[in-house]
Amino acid sequence: MIYLDHAATTPVPAAVADAMYDVLRHQFGNPSAQYPYGRESAALVDRCRAAVAQGLGCHPEQLFFTSCGTESDNWAISAAVWQGRHVGRHIITTALEHSAILEPCKWLAQQGYEITYLKPDRTGHVTAQQVADALREDTVLVSMMLVNNETGCVFPVEEVAQLLKARGSQALLHCDAVQGFLKIPCDPVRWGVDLMSLSAHKIGGPKGIGALYVAPRLKNLRPLLPGGGQERGLRSGTEATAQIAGFAKAVELYCDGLDEKRRHLAAVRDYCRERLLSIPTVAEIGRGDAPHILSVSLPGYPSANIVADLGAQGICISAGSACHKGKASHVVSALGLDKKTAAGVIRVSFGPETTFEEIDALHDALLAHKNSRFPML
């Protein structure tokens, strides 16, 4: 099996699974309990929080564990609008965000908030100037992803943070860094980001665990889940210690030789771009800067058919975001592509273990698909 859908989820290394199994079997205590098993589990959570925080470059007390990136995004948005409830009811985001941002914004619009959606250019990028043009005195939140999960385009989060500071804006800045964490430089403390969402399963960790970074200037953050007082009273619920251990181990493993991993990913992406664009009519979608994602289109050939055909041959890719289950995504729609091009969009995404030989196999399979079928559109 050739797995080229790392932007959807990633394989779990044996060391991560082993770390989780050890916790499940031998460190099963409730971290809130006062006897030794509980204290050991509490210490484990503290060590793991420190490990993930080190990967992000923040203090451990600024990091809160959640169940996933979607939960982190929802918490960030609800906390930000609560924090700015006396400032206004205007939010700025992009038309390319993950549904974990767009759906809460739709709900807030129904509650009377005004949402400005920044549109991308034809390459899939948005600019800090667009934020500047949309910024108002009643803006309470700017939410911008770090890396788009379909095109690989990197968004100017650091530049937007500098803009908000220069303008003296009271708006908080949230960044969905689920697709960018560790793949590219990511420094919320130095950049001046207020809230940043992470997820473990994009970097070799387990599903079911994420995190939210909260800047020190956010005081009296609104709790996500009131209850037993876990996560310093802000996200109650017994800690998922095995998933937390897996998250920490995944960060540790990914950070080992990080620069070389990034160079390898970029080399694989560039090679994949060269090989796929050598196929007649194949076109790149957007111009992604992230090293692990490439989006292309085979115009006239439905992407669902391509994914199914290559999947039958043991090659795993996706038709845009896996979260859309084969339907045309809002990202593709926002790029203003013609019907044939939009219908043929596929996403290829890479991991540290992806080889050039696997890219050659992808090229051959896609070329064979094109040569053995008539375009349907």
Question: Angle CA(203)–CA(194)–CA(98) in degrees, nearest 5?
Answer: 50
Structural domain boundaries in the chain: 2-10+257-372, 14-255
Looking up tokens 């665990």 gives 209
CATH topology of domain 2-10+257-372: Aspartate Aminotransferase, domain 1 (3.90.1150)
| pLDDT for position 323 | 46
What is d(CA 72, CA 90) in angstroms, rounded to the nearest whole number? 20
User: Residue 110: what are its φ and ψ, rounded to 5°?
Assistant: -70, -20
Q: Looking at residues 256-275, what average pLDDT do you find?
A: 98
Q: Which of 59, 6, 26, 365 is nearest to 188 (CA)?
A: 59
What pLDDT, in 10s, does the model give residues 136-164? 999 999 999 999 999 999 999 999 999 99
Q: Which of left, alpha, beta for 344 (phi over 0: left; psi -120 to 50: alpha)?
A: alpha
Q: 208-219: string of b/e by CB count within 10 Å (b at 16+)?
A: bbbbbbbbeeee
What is the helix (H) or strand (E) element at residue 83, kind and residue range?
Answer: helix 69-83
| pLDDT for position 185 | 97
What is d(CA 120, CA 152) in angstroms, rounded to the nearest whole number? 13
Least confident of 18-27, 265-274, 368-377: 368-377
What contacts 233, CB < 8 A, 6 or more positions away? Answer: 223
What contacts 180, CB < 8 A, 6 or more positions away? Answer: 145, 146, 147, 154, 186, 290
C-alpha distances in angstroms, 190 versus 131, 185, 187, 254?
20, 11, 6, 21
| pLDDT for position 288 | 87
CA 291 and chain centroid, separation = 14
Question: Angle CA(10)–CA(15)–CA(16) in degrees, nearest 5?
Answer: 50
Strand, coil or helix: what is 26?
A: helix
| pLDDT for position 326 | 47
| pLDDT for position 87 | 96
Residue 48 known to be catalytic: no
Cite the beta strand spans of 135-203 per DSSP E.
139-143, 172-176, 195-199
| pLDDT for position 180 | 98
Residues β-bridged to residue 48 = none
SS (H, E, C) 327-373: CCCHHHHHCCCCHHHHHCEEEEECCCCCCHHHHHHHHHHHHHHHHHC
Inform me whether the pLDDT recorded for 320 exceeds 70: no
What pLDDT, in 10s, does the model give residues 208-242? 999 999 999 898 889 999 999 999 999 999 999 99
What pLDDT, in 10s, does the model give residues 167-191? 999 999 999 999 999 999 999 999 9
What is d(CA 309, CA 305) in angstroms, rounded to the nearest whole number? 6
Inform me whether the pLDDT recorded for 283 exceeds 60: yes
CATH topology of domain 14-255: Aspartate Aminotransferase; domain 2 (3.40.640)
Question: Angle CA(53)–CA(97)–CA(138) in degrees, nearest 5?
Answer: 90
Residue 322: pLDDT band with limits 50, 70, 90: very low
Looking from the CA of 308 toward its CB, the CA atoms found within 13 Å total 8
Residue 376: pLDDT band with limits 50, 70, 90: confident
| pLDDT for position 135 | 98
Q: Which of 202, 209, 66, 208 is nearest to 146 (CA)?
A: 202
> Residue 292 gets which letter from DSSP?
T
Q: Indicate the length of the chain as a whole number.
A: 377
Q: Exposed/middle/buried for 345, CB within 10 Å: 0-12, 13-18, 19+?
A: buried
Catalytic residue among 58, 68, 186, 323: 323
C-alpha distances in angstroms, 324 versus 149, 320, 321?
12, 8, 6
Q: Looking at residues 266-288, what average pLDDT do you find?
A: 96
What is d(CA 36, CA 33) in angstroms, rounded to the nearest whole number? 8
